[in-house]
Every structure is written in structure tokens, then in C-alpha cells.
Structure 1
Amino acid sequence: MLRDALLYDALGKPIPQRHKVLSTDWDEIRDWSSRVYMPYRVSPTGSVIRPRSTMHSAMVGRITVTRFAYGIPVNVTDWAQDAGNAVVLTTIGGAARHAVTARHHEDTGIDESFVADCSRTDYLVDFDPDHLQLNLTIPHAVLEQVCQDWFGFVPDNALWQYKCRIGGRNSSWLALMTYLVRSIAEAPDRLARDRVGRHLEQSICIHLLNEWSARAGIDLDQPRSDVAPRHVRAAERYMAAHAASLPAMTEVARAAGTSLRSLTGAFRRFRGYTPSAFLREQRLQGVRAALRAAAPGTTVSAIANAWGYINLGEFARSYRGRFGELPSETLAR
């Protein structure tokens, strides 16, 4: 059923699309993928560089559902964070390899899914020559709204930055994807705006959040009082706003209205890491964003110095360990 997703309606007739469904033109494919997913960088990884892409899409509430393949092996990275979208990629043909960290990856075969919130974290995936994907593009704001409505709070980046495999053969998530595809086949033009589509949108988001949070070790049903206290959130806001100036932890604690010992203990309990680790991540993400947006002629050292890095060798090692490439490689792109 998933292999033919978005191709035919319940009567066996082709579901009409408002764009070409087959293309060998990189510009056409890039234009379509930028609209249904977000801008990103794609590179062929084999000897064949001309794509043979298949492209189908449908809207279910505010979720974009796509059936997509490049027809050749490719690497996809540099997803635009400012687009504000999460993606759930279900492999329905071939295989995909998803980077979880710079040194660890997860492979998905047929009927397995992978989730990454591209609005909150970097994401890199390699597709093999036979790949075919059934993908969901979900605005991060929609996921936050569902969390607030159903669980009473919005999780922090401990969830949103966690990338993982979900579902699999005989799983309830795969059954939900099958139901989604059947619903589109029965009403391909209505689910973007009617009550059934909004109900299905909510069901998908709730199920996804439960699967995702379970793998991230986060209990969404915890009492509201167990959510990180105000001084933790205040410290995070302060560090995010002042990351480039490298504030001392005592300064952060003072800005949050608590002692350094209390702040460190609260971070370990509610976040699972220290305030220093949070600040380090903010600085590295800030440098990466600056490298990507740099004007011609800008140097790595100038950007690193602007973010408080003095020892460029140590900075380069930290950057490569976090993102799997040197700062100069990010700047060159």
C-alpha cells in the first residue's frame, strides 16, 4: 500500500498533481523540494549525476505528505532551520542512512521511519540508488501547539534536537501511515481543509510525539511541576542572548536569580546536562549559522573570534566533533 502512496485514488484513478511528477532537471526538483520541505543542499554520491526524480504531494491539515525519490544515490544536508519544519522520513523503497551525531548513524529499510526537527538541529541523510520515501513535513509550531494542548507544556530542545528511528514493520506508527495513505486516496482534495484532515493531523502529531519522546527518554505525561523551573529557562534565555560574549556561569546564575550550585543541579535534573554544555552548544550553533551566512571574503578566524574563540585549533576540533566537518568546509559552501 505505501509503495503506491499518493499515486491513485480509491477508484484506482491517478491522483492529479499541480506540478510535474517526473523530472530529470535539478532546478525543477530543487524548486519543488524547497516548497514542500524546505531549502537544503543535495549532492549526487555515485557515478550518475542526472536525477530521475518522482514527486507527489498532498496536504493533510497543515502536514505536507510527499512521495519522493531522486532516482540516484544522493547526500542531503544543510536543511534551512529558519523554515521552521520537522521531517519524518519513511522508507518505502531502497534504504537511507541518517546521521545522528558526527560519529553515529541509523539506517532505515523498508517500512522504517526517522524523525528530525530541522528547525532545531542539523540533519544529514544519504539515500541509496533505489530509495523511495513517504515523508511528512510538519511545522515545528504545530508540534508545539499539540504539546501545549495535550500535555500542558512545550518540551525543550532535549526533545527537538533528538534524532531517532521510529516505527517499523508491524508497528502502530506504520499502521497509522497506512491509514493516512488510504485517507488521502479516498479524499485527495479535501484533507487540507476539512475536519477529517485536521483530526488526522492531530492524531499523527500526538502519535509522533509519544514515539519520539519515548526514545528521547522524556515523559510527556509528567506533572507540570516537574517541568524545568523558571530559573533554568531564564538561564537558557540569557545564555542564548549572550552566547557570543561567553558569560561566566556565575553571571548566568545571577541573571537567573539563583546560585550557581542550584542552577547546575537543576540543569542536571531537568535537562540532563550542565549549563556550560548548553552554552557551548549555543556558541557552536551560532558560529555555524554565521559561517553559512558569511559574506564573500569573510574568514573563519573572524567569525570564531566574534563568538569568543581564541584558540582556533581547539575551536576547529570542537566544531568538527559536533558537526562532522571543519569550519572552513561550512564556509566554503
Structure 2
Amino acid sequence: MLNKRAADQGPDAIAGNPLDKCRVFGSSDVDETRAQVARLYCDHRLNPVSPNARLQAWQNAVTLKQSCLATMGYGAEVQIDPGKLKNFYLLMLPYAGEAMVDAGGRMVQASSTLGTLLSPDDLVTMRWSPDCAKYMVRIDRAALEQHVASLLGHPLRRPLNFRLAIPREGLGAEWWRLTELLVGLVECQDRAHPQNLAIDQLEQALLFSLIEGQEHNYSDALRDRDRSIAPKHVRLVEHYIEEHAADPITIEQLVAISGVSGRALFDGFKRFRNTSPMAHLRACRMRRVREALLKPTPDVTVSRLAQDWGFHELGRFAGQYRKLYGETPSETLRRAR
């Protein structure tokens, strides 16, 4: 908890918070605080609730493979209006104080027993108490949505949206525990090189457990998939596609690999994956294009990647890409560079 003595000494004296050795900033200036926080998250409005309040803001953060782990507080009651997060999900678990969070009209009084998980397309407003301090995990939207798509076996047809509230009980308690373990491991590492196998595994465990345990608009589909394990011929073709997506593939090849008739193969994909074999191949290739755009080499171009993965009609490719991922291929590449 932020204490009065630390606040009286200025932002740099606020110590004893998790990830202190990964300090990003400390400031009593509203504009500087807004700019620093926006660098990690997104543009937003930040206003102290009382005109006489003096910020004692601070932030500690470290970037991991698919997420950014942070702790922060403002040291004054503040109103925060980020609008839509757009490109990321944000897990917020208070360990001191409280915050009123409104996301898409859903309201939660967050505290040390009730966290929140913000989704990218919800309009968000928050009010933090003066002593509010949180664990915060920024999760790349593309990474999380691709994970869900891979579990379902087809691209997402609408944005992934989570239930807002995370009670600190049942599975929710597990996410608090995993986050605290992750913080503890990072604190034991060299700040400049926080990666190791244990950190990577804990990060993956946290992301996977959110998908499996926190209710979202694909939870029913994932449960249905678990109840309807695809037959061997469907799984054989899926495996072949994953291994040979860069090669020329025809439907005749897929039928031969499956060991069943063309009708049986189509029926299997329709029933268990709600798609066709060739549509599954296109989705796999589209996913590979996005992965390459998110981690581009210096000479990569959208048109070259599209051609390499068999998308020869660039206009149609760009339209399909935007429908799947909510941005054009060029926007993905620009954001990644």
C-alpha cells in the first residue's frame, strides 16, 4: 500500500512495491504521467478527482514474450478514460485500494478480492482510489485470439470478449497466484534479461488458464469442441496442413491423406470444425502471414508475404485479413516495426 510518508517524500521515494527494480517512472505531474502510461498502454484522459490533489504516480514494468507485466499506482484519486484498448487485453488485479471499472456498460468495484479483465473493443472508464495499486498484465490481442483460434481449429468470426469480473476464489485465485509467482520470478532475474524457461512457462500457463477458465464468448464453442473430439481422418489432415502449409496442396491430396472418401472428409470438417478442408488450409496460411507481419524481417513486404503463402489476389486477401483481425496487413506491419 502507498503510505503517506512515502508520498510526502516524492514519487521516487515510493518503494516497497512489486517489481521496484523495474521502475519505469515516478512523477507528480499529470501530463508526464499520462504520457508515460500511454507509452505502455494507449492514449487516454487522466484527471485527478480533486483539483487540489497532488499525484504521486509510479509504474514498474517488464516486457515478456507475449505480455507486459507491470505494477502501478497514482497516489491520488483519479479518473482514467482510455476508451477502447484496441490492440490488447488488460488483466488488472489490485493488491491495495479499490477502483471502479466500467467496461462496455459492465461495472465492477475492483479490490484485493475482485480483479478485472478488460477486452479490446469495450469502452472503458475507471476511477482509482488514492491508495489503489495493481498487478497489470498487458496481453497482445493477436496472440490471445490466435491461441483461441488454434484451439477451435478455425479463425475467430467475431472479436474475443471476456467476462469483466475476476473474483479471487476458485480459478480466479489461481490467476492471482500465477501473477504473483511471475512477479517473484522476474524480481529474481537480471532486469535487462528477464527471460528464462520458468518465466516463459508461467506466462503461458497464465494466458492458457485465462482462455480455459475465464468465461468469454467462445467458451461454449471450446466446451463443445472438447465434447466432440474430431475423428482420426480430420486430425490427420489438420496435422498435414500445419506441417505443409507452405507447399502446394490440393483437395485430392488431402482426401488421399485422410484415408476416407471426399464426402466423409468434408462431412468431418463441417461437423467437428465448422469449416471445409481447404478453408482450414487458407486460415492456416493467413495465420502464418500474420505471424510473419508481427515479427517482420527488414525487407518483408505485405505483397511478398501474401504471394509466398498463395494469396495472389491482394485486394481480396487484404479484405479477408481485415475481417479476421480488425486491421489491414499494412497496419499490422506498421505497428510491428
Scaled by the length of structure 2, the TM-score of the pair is: 0.56
| 1:226-252 deviation digits (Å, cap 9, x = unpaired) | 77779xxxxxxxxxxxxxxxxxxxxxx
CA–CA separation in structure 1 for the residues paired with 2:111 and 2:208: 24
RMSD, matched Cα: 3.2
| 1:200-228 deviation digits (Å, cap 9, x = unpaired) | 33212111112323698634242284777
Given that 1:68 and 1:134 are in contact with CA atoms closer than 8 Å, whether structure 2 keeps it comes out as yes
**Structure 2 SS opposite 1:55:** strand
Given that 2:99 and 2:111 are in contact with CA atoms closer than 8 Å, whether structure 1 keeps it comes out as yes
1:112 corresponds to 2:125: no
* Structure 1 residue 150: Cα displacement: 3.9
Given that 1:96 and 1:127 are in contact with CA atoms closer than 8 Å, whether structure 2 keeps it comes out as yes
Superposition map of 1:196-215 within 5 A: 196-213=198-215
Which of the numbers 70, 81, 96 marks the counterpart of 2:99? 96
Identity %: 17
Given that 1:184 and 1:191 are in contact with CA atoms closer than 8 Å, whether structure 2 keeps it comes out as no
1:58 corresponds to 2:34: no
CA–CA separation in structure 2 for the residues paired with 1:65 and 1:215: 25
* Structure 1 residue 61: Cα displacement: 1.7
1:168 is aligned to: 168
Given that 1:34 and 1:40 are in contact with CA atoms closer than 8 Å, whether structure 2 keeps it comes out as yes
1:23 is aligned to: 27
CA–CA separation in structure 1 for the residues paired with 2:155 and 2:81: 27
CA spacing shift, 1:183–1:52, aligned 2, 3 Å: same
2:135 is aligned to: 134
1:298 is aligned to: none
1:121 is aligned to: 122
**Structure 2 SS opposite 1:92:** strand
1:68 corresponds to 2:72: yes
CA spacing shift, 1:209–1:191, aligned 2, 3 Å: farther
Aligned residue identity for 1:23: S
Given that 2:186 and 2:194 are in contact with CA atoms closer than 8 Å, whether structure 1 keeps it comes out as no
| 1:98-149 deviation digits (Å, cap 9, x = unpaired) | 11444x511111143201122x221111111221111111110110122234
Give the count of matched residue pairs: 218
1:85 corresponds to 2:98: no
CA–CA separation in structure 2 for the residues paired with 1:126 and 1:109: 12
1:4 corresponds to 2:17: yes
Superposition map of 1:259-298 within 5 A: none
CA spacing shift, 1:153–1:215, aligned 2, 3 Å: closer
Query: Which structure would you say has the larger Rg?
Result: 2
CA–CA separation in structure 1 for the residues paired with 2:273 and 2:108: 30
CA–CA separation in structure 1 for the residues paired with 2:97 and 2:61: 20
CA spacing shift, 1:16–1:214, aligned 2, 3 Å: closer
Structure 2 unmatched runs, 5+: 2-15, 226-268, 277-337
* Structure 1 residue 94: Cα displacement: 0.5
Which of the numbers 155, 178, 181 marks the counterpart of 1:179? 181
Aligned residue identity for 2:17: D
1:319 is aligned to: none
CA–CA separation in structure 1 for the residues paired with 2:218 and 2:107: 16
Given that 1:38 and 1:79 are in contact with CA atoms closer than 8 Å, whether structure 2 keeps it comes out as no
Scaled by the length of structure 1, the TM-score of the pair is: 0.57
* Structure 1 residue 159: Cα displacement: 3.8
Superposition map of 1:251-262 within 5 A: none
Structure 1 unmatched runs, 5+: 8-14, 231-333
CA spacing shift, 1:217–1:147, aligned 2, 3 Å: closer
Aligned residue identity for 2:77: P
* Structure 1 residue 156: Cα displacement: 4.7
